[in-house]
């Protein structure tokens, strides 16, 4: 039951957008309305419970040869919620960090925490101690659940932090015996994947599964309550969390589910979840959307293991795949993938980064199905637009806005531009975040007084309502779907005592789309590229590190002394043109 009146909530789509009509409505799949209904579930925890009532013993998640039904997920989430409440003393609104790759433990902890009224903070398992400590200092969580493989990092950041309880899980903890013991032993003893750590007060994950469901206390979670602190660099970088409410997340999956229903039936569909669940796209589409839809999510723990990934696809016979462009390209380069029977696949979705046209065309040729591309950002929970699933995709576009989503393309004065003219993409809808965590000034810079989210992306509108991203106002590097903010890389480099100045820009990369390049002015001429690269390994996770480091005598600057990244891009363009001319 909802505990408040939702009828007054604005669901954009009823009134015309400033500057004209909404031509994109004509492209919606049959049966998809212009606006969504108000979600009937009171919270994400309630949503998971309702899904269990509908789908019962059907498989909700599978991984490492084990399965988890909707009913089992519901039971275990309640047990975890009871343990968090009564054994750890966590209360509504407290934050809890989940730091692990795609394992069945993830949805169990996530829905247990949400059911207890906690706020979930997803953390990349590969965060360095520096990166994790910034998140913990900002979110002030009281608990963390971490895979043992990364517990040594938690050990480093624990002293002096807000964390009171550490729960450690091992990869096989959701499997039945004897497989559980075998998987955990292989990870530790054979593959040496678990570095030594010392956390004497750590609680084993299996312990929290023993919470007494009879002691669970309904915390009274409503749509307005915060569900996630989703960390992003926003438009400028730095440690910043988008505040995503239960309302945001419930609405967003309701907005895109019509496109899923156009190609898949409710209940029984199998989808590959290759993107990590701590990434907002997979969190919303896989962990929330397909769960509500009754889908079976096949969790891929290590998608970089392409041979293993191909075997997973072969064994699961999926109806849908959720990928990034680079991962699709890597799959197609694998000879075994080329021999797979993919006749079951009805939809493939590319999220997290732009779909390269060559990848889309090759995918169609190899698999017989299209990759559907869309657009989103963390601040919009994240999905804003998608290519309609019942129509051939327009490669190079990000499709059309979702139901109950308004978009505008604005010039520098905030005025709507004509079709075909570039401007900043602005978004309005129930999926737009509540703001940045404890950062009102930065929130005001991206959300206007009348509720428009300024994305920082430069887009154009076609006459019939399709959108294209043509440039970025925000300085951001997208590496295989993950955002890297130049300022974060520059700040890390500047911590080295031999670095006087640093500037970072994106450069093209065949596999990742683009990767960081770092330009450096040395304070000490003895500094080498290898020395700086080794130093950055301690401060930045892998995808954030520069693939190239170039030393300059000086960096181009504005008249007030700020590093001019546009000037660095000009230097790099000249380098590339020179190399091309020599070739």
Q: Mind listing the pLDDT tens digit for each residue in 317-341?
A: 999 999 888 788 889 999 999 999 9
Q: Which of 230, 254, 260, 258 is closest to 244 using CA atoms?
A: 230
What's the CA dihedral at 393, 397, 402, 406 to 10 degrees? -150
40-63 mean pLDDT? 97
CA atoms within 13 A on the CB side of 265: 2
Confidence of residue 580 (pLDDT cuts 50, 70, 90): low
Residue 9's pLDDT band, with cuts at 50, 70 and 90, is very low
Residue 567 vs residue 236, higher pLDDT: 567
Least confident of 412-426, 442-456, 460-474, 508-522: 460-474
Q: What is the pLDDT of residue 19?
A: 37
Q: Is the preceding peptide bond at 413 cis, omega within 30 degrees of 0?
A: no
Q: What is the CATH number of the domain that holds 182?
A: 3.40.50.980
Q: Which residue bears the tokens 């730095």?
A: 238
Q: Residues 6 or more apart from 193 whose CB is under 8 A from it?
A: 149, 187
Q: How far apart are CA 58 and CA 94, in angstroms?
A: 32
Which two structure tokens, joined as six digits, stand for 447?
Answer: 């959300």
Query: Is 368 a member of any domain?
Result: no
Using CA atoms, how far apart are residues 526 and 531, in angstroms rounded to an integer?
9
Asked if residue 350 is part of any domain, the answer here is: no
Buried residues in 81-101 as b, exposed as e (16+ CB within 10 A): bbbbbebbebeeebbbbbbbb
Per cent of the chain over pLDDT 90 is 77
Domain end (from 205, 221, 237): 221
Which residue, 156, 188, 221, sits at the end of a domain? 221
Tell me the range of 79-88, 472-481, 548-557 where mean pLDDT is highest.
79-88
217 is in which domain, residue-wise?
A: 43-221
Confidence class for position 579, pLDDT limits 50, 70, 90: low
In a domain, residue 436? The reply is: no
CA distance 550 to 522: 10
Say whether pLDDT at 373 is over 70.
yes
Sheet holding 548-551, edge to edge: 499-509, 513-522, 548-551
Q: Which strands form 406-410's sheet, in the order they lie side by side?
A: 406-410, 423-428, 453-461, 467-472
pLDDT band at 474 (very low <50, low <70, confident <90, very high): confident
User: Residue 492's domain is classified under what CATH number?
Assistant: 3.30.300.30
Per-residue confidence band for 490, with pLDDT thresholds at 50, 70 and 90: confident
- The residues, any chain, with a CB within 8 Å of residue 167's CB and separated by 6 or more, are 109, 143, 144, 145, 146, 202, 203, 204, 205, 207, 208
Tell me: pLDDT of 369 over 90.
Answer: no
Rounded Cα gap, residues 199 and 418, in angstroms: 60
**Residue 500 — very low, low, confident or very high, per pLDDT cuts 50/70/90?**
confident
* Confidence band, pLDDT 50/70/90 cuts, at residue 351: confident
pLDDT of residue 558: 59
Comparing 275-289, 299-313, 361-375, the range with the smallest average pLDDT is 361-375
End-to-end alpha-carbon separation of the chain, Å? 68
pLDDT at 198: 97
Inside any domain, residue 297: no
SS3 label, residue 492: helix
- Token output for 121: 């903070």
Structure tokens at 404: 């109950």
Domain C-terminal end among 221, 252, 285:
221
Taken in order 395, 400, 402, 407, is the CA torsion positive or negative?
A: positive
Domain assignment of residue 188, yes or no: yes
- The model's confidence at residue 14, banded by pLDDT at 50, 70 and 90, is very low
Going by pLDDT thresholds of 50, 70 and 90, the confidence category of residue 233 is low
pLDDT of 191 higher than 90? yes
Residue 109 lies in a domain: yes
pLDDT for residue 5 is more than 50 = no
Give the confidence band of 16 by pLDDT, cuts at 50, 70, 90: very low
Average pLDDT value for the chain = 91
Q: Among 484, 488, 483, 482, which residue's Cα sits nearest to residue 502?
A: 488
Residues 6+ apart with CB under 8 A from 577: none
Lowest mean pLDDT among 81-85, 246-250, 569-573: 569-573
Structural domain count of the chain: 2
pLDDT value for 218:
97
507 near 515, Cβ under 8 Å?
yes
- Domain assignment present for residue 253? The answer is no
Please state the rounded mean pLDDT for residues 199-208: 98
Query: Mean pLDDT over residues 103-107, rounded?
Result: 98
pTM above 0.75, yes or no: yes
Q: How confident is the model at residue 254 (pLDDT cuts 50, 70, 90)?
A: very high
Query: 120 and 113 in contact (C-beta within 8 Å)?
Result: yes
**Residue 191: Cβ-neighbour burial (10 angstroms; 0-12, 13-18, 19+):** exposed
- The answer to whether 378 touches 280, Cβ cutoff 8 Å, is yes
**If you ran DSSP here, which 8-state letter would residue 23 be given?**
G
SS3 state of residue 316 = helix
The residue that leads in pLDDT, 6 or 434, is: 434
Lowest pLDDT segment from 227-241, 523-537, 564-578: 227-241
| Residue 244 domain flag | no
Q: How confident is the model at residue 402 (pLDDT cuts 50, 70, 90)?
A: very high
Query: CA 327, 314, 305 angle in degrees (round to 5)?
Result: 40
The pLDDT of residue 561 is 58
Q: How many CA atoms lie within 13 A of 137 on its CB side?
A: 11
Distance of alpha carbon 247 from alpha carbon 251, whole angstroms: 6
Determine the average pLDDT of the residues in 41-69. 98
Q: H-helix or E-strand containing 549?
A: strand 548-551
Beta strands in 165-303 (DSSP E): 165-169, 203-204, 226-232, 240-245, 270-273, 296-299
Per cent of the chain over pLDDT 70 is 93
Higher pLDDT, 410 or 481: 410
């Amino acid at each position: 039951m909802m505990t408040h009146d939702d009828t007054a909530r604005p669901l954009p789509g009823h009134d015309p957008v400033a500057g004209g009509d909404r031509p994109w409505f004509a492209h919606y799949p049959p049966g998809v309305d212009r606006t969504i209904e108000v979600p009937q579930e009171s919270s994400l925890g309630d949503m998971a419970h309702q899904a269990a009532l509908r789908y019962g013993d059907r498989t909700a998640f599978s991984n490492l040869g084990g399965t988890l039904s909707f009913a089992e997920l519901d039971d275990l989430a309640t047990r975890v919620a009871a343990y968090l409440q009564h054994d750890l003393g966590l209360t509504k609104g407290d934050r809890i960090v989940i730091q692990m790759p795609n394992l069945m433990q993830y949805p169990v902890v996530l829905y247990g925490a949400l059911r207890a009224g906690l706020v979930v903070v997803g953390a990349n398992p590969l965060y360095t101690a520096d990166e994790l400590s910034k998140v913990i200092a900002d979110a002030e969580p009281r608990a963390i659940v971490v895979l043992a493989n990364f517990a040594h990092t938690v050990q480093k950041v624990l002293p002096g932090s807000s964390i009171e309880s550490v729960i450690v899980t091992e990869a096989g903890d959701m499997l039945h015996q004897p497989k559980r013991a075998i998987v955990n032993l292989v990870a530790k003893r054979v593959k040496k994947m678990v570095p030594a750590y010392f956390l004497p007060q750590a609680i084993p994950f299996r312990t929290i599964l023993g919470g007494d469901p009879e002691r669970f206390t309904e915390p009274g979670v409503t749509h307005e309550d915060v569900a996630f602190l989703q960390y992003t660099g926003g438009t400028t970088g730095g440690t910043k969390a988008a505040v995503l409410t239960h309302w945001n997340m419930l609405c967003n999956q309701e907005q895109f589910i019509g496109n899923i229903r156009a190609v898949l039936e409710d209940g029984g569909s199998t989808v590959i979840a290759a993107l990590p669940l701590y990434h907002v796209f997979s969190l919303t589409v896989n962990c929330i959307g397909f769960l509500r839809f009754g889908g079976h999510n096949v969790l891929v723990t290590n998608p970089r293991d392409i041979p293993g990934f191909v075997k997973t696809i072969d064994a699961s016979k999926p109806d849908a795949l959720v990928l990034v462009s680079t991962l699709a390209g890597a799959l197609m380069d694998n000879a075994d993938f080329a021999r797979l029977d993919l006749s079951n696949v009805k939809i493939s979705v590319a999220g997290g980064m732009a779909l390269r046209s060559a990848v889309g065309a090759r995918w169609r040729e190899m698999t017989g199905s299209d990759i559907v591309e869309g657009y989103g950002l963390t601040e919009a929970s994240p999905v804003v637009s998608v290519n309609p699933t019942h129509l051939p995709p327009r490669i190079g576009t990000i499709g059309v806005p979702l139901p109950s989503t308004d978009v505008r393309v604005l010039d520098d004065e905030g005025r709507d531009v004509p079709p075909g003219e570039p401007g900043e993409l602005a978004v309005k809808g129930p999926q737009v975040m509540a703001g940045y965590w404890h950062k009102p000034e930065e929130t005001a810079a991206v959300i206007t007084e009348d509720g428009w989210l300024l994305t920082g992306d430069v887009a154009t509108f076609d006459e019939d309502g399709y959108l294209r991203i043509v440039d970025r106002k925000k300085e951001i590097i997208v590496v295989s779907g993950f955002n890297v903010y130049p300022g974060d890389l520059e700040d890390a480099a500047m911590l080295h005592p031999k670095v006087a100045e640093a500037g970072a820009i994106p450069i093209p990369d065949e596999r990742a789309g683009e990767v960081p390049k770092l330009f450096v002015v040395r304070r000490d001429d003895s500094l080498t590229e290898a020395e700086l690269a080794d130093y950055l390994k301690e401060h930045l996770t892998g995808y954030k590190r520069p693939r190239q480091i170039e030393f300059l005598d000086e960096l181009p600057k504005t008249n007030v002394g700020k590093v001019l990244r546009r000037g660095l891009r000009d230097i790099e363009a000249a380098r590339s043109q020179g190399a091309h001319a020599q070739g």
